[in-house]
Amino acid sequence: MTTDTIEQPQPARSRAVFSQEDFSLIRTAIAHYLREVQDQPESVKYANLYHRLGRVA
């Protein structure tokens, strides 16, 4: 008795989009932008992003 199996191709391994150095650069840019928008409501979103990036880098 033979069993025919169809082998499914494995998905390619995902690659990182940003390097560790990129996270540091982005965080620095956001810190600068935070000073520009500090009195605006959207500054809270950028402050949260800044802190999340700190956990990555």
Q: Kindly state whether residue 32 falls inside one of the protein's structural domains.
A: yes
Question: Is residue 14 a part of any domain in this protein?
Answer: no
Q: What is the CA radius of gyration of the chain?
A: 21
Domain count for the chain: 1
- Report how far Cα 43 is from the mean position of its chain's Cα atoms: 19
Q: Which domain holds residue 46?
A: 20-56
Residue type, 9: P
Task: Note whether residue 1 is domain-resident.
Answer: no
| pLDDT given at position 4 | 67
Determine the Cα–Cα distance for residues 49 and 11; give it in Å rounded to an integer: 30
Q: What is the pTM of this model?
A: 0.66
Tens digits of residue pLDDT in 24-57:
999 999 999 999 999 999 999 999 999 998 887 6
- Model pLDDT, residue 48: 95
Residue 7 lies in a domain: no
pLDDT at residue 13 tops 90: no
Domain contains 5: no
Q: For residue 10, what pLDDT is reported?
A: 85
Tell me if 12 is assigned to some domain. no
The answer to whether residue 42 sits within a structural domain is yes
pLDDT of residue 1: 58
